[in-house]
Structure 1
């Protein structure tokens, strides 16, 4: 299996991984460095290969001829007999398929709108507006690998660790204000207002973020006045435990949204429409989508907002978030500021 993008993309590949292993196959996963931690959380992955491919990622590496033989030799040494290349609807699987052919893999399947020549044995066409997780499982099914009996196709990770030592006792909400793509992140003041309003409404709030986001999580938590600040204190596995213990997670379209779905926690999705929600929304968990979905940036795939003021997300208020939280976890409560 191949999924070369970020952690969220790898998490969405989880059901397809389980389909691949459902007939007793040993499953290896080739991923990029930003997806490695997620790959190691997926049930059914026996072996993880990591390669920073020059045709994916936000800051792709330069093409280096010395690197290519190394990954080819690594894959060839495992003697895989089939490969599925998972890509987003706008990506080509063909550079990866060429790499796999050179590694001696005799059968390769992928979604592809481009003519594949001899690179693919299965050239599959995904359904229009198909969710990324469903597109992956449909590709596997077309190649003869359906989900195992009793597998409902939801996202999963290995058992999340106990997080009470980090979070304190439940109940609590998680607000994760950052995003890998700037266009998909709310302004700090919007996230801070949400935390303040949730705190004032009586909810205990935990703010999470990566080590590089410590200044952001400190600001959003009110410097500890309104929320517990866990910025920089969790790796992806520990974050899965924090999210699993939450009543709901407030998060943009970024990896932790899919991690929340994988541990079954409801999501208030602050969703910028630069990519379609039907393809990227939290998968098969209770979800409230906030954000102007018909904003001028819709479908642009922009990494930085092309519209002054970032109106699709920065028009949201803390009261909007409070109302969405209550619709998810306490629909009988009266919504007051």
Structure 2
């Protein structure tokens, strides 16, 4: 199975992985930004990592030796079938060509373009369904189905304890694409507002976000920025009463551990596909002019789709998802 994007994208492949795992071992090919999530997915037996030059941002150079190495690595797996999982704007065909050269006898993917001999099963229908459902449809087209009793929700294996006194609310202000999250000052004001409303607030972030989380936590929040692994973050989110987050991987990680999400969701990608696949409340103008642009940086002055949301709106949404 292949999903070459980031941790959130890989988490959304979880139901498809569990369906494929009913028939045997699942080897997961992912990018460097998706490996931590792939290692947490129930059903994955082995993870292969490759920095794909048409997916990773910023893109690495295309080098023949790298391509040949990946083909050789996949060839050594001796896979019976490959499921290539992509978003609606991505083509599976470059990777399908490599998989074919690696000797994979059966390749299944969704493709708007004519695949020639690159795909054995081609899905063409596009519907506004959650990405997790879209991925599961590829697995089903390959003949795999979820095991009995599996409801198709996101899941990760064995989140550890957080070691934090409960109850608490997590605020996760960072995102790899700035257009998909609130501005730092708005996050900081939300932490103050949540604290004033009686919530204990824990602020989380990745290794490169320590400055951001320190600013957002201020004097009110508990700053864990850069202090957790991805697996440890799953435990922090699992122990939370709610998680407030932009459209980024930890939103899907929160859904995977069953914690309700308040999503500051910019409409640069459709919420019907990318909203957290679990209990959630969306905040933000889903009809803003940036809708559907897939912008990484906000194309409009003042980031209006999100920065018109008030801290009081976040407090109310947290109370709503906790009821």
TM range (shorter): over 0.9
Deviation at residue 211 of structure 1 after TM alignment: 1.6
1-structure distance, mates of 2:321, 2:69: 48
Instruction: Show CA shifts across 1:272-321 (max 9, x none).
Output: 000000000000x2111000110100000011100110001111111010
Instruction: Give the aligned partner of residue 334 of structure 1.
Output: none
Which residues in structure 2 correspond to 1:254-293 (within 5 Å)? Answer: 254-283=248-277, 285-293=278-286
Instruction: Give the aligned partner of residue 47 of structure 1.
Output: 46
Q: Is the 8 A contact 1:39 1:48 kept in 2?
A: yes
Q: 1:327 aligns with which of 310, 320, 323?
A: 320
Instruction: Give the aligned partner of residue 223 of structure 2.
Output: 229
Deviation at residue 146 of structure 1 after TM alignment: 1.0
Q: Secondary structure at the match of 2:302?
A: coil
Provide structure 2 residue ranges, at least 5 long, that are not aligned to the other structure: none
1-structure distance, mates of 2:80, 2:271: 35
Which residues in structure 2 correspond to 1:1-337 (within 5 Å)? Answer: 1-23=1-23, 25-164=24-163, 168-222=164-218, 225-283=219-277, 285-330=278-323
RMSD, aligned α-carbons: 0.7
Deviation at residue 259 of structure 1 after TM alignment: 0.2
Provide structure 1 residue ranges, at least 5 long, that are not aligned to the other structure: 331-337
2-structure distance, mates of 1:189, 1:320: 15
Q: Secondary structure at the match of 1:57?
A: coil
1-structure distance, mates of 2:41, 2:249: 14
2-structure distance, mates of 1:214, 1:126: 42
2-structure distance, mates of 1:75, 1:306: 40
Instruction: Show CA shifts across 1:255-276 (max 9, x none).
Output: 0000000000000000000000
Deviation at residue 126 of structure 1 after TM alignment: 3.7
Moved over 4 A (4+): none
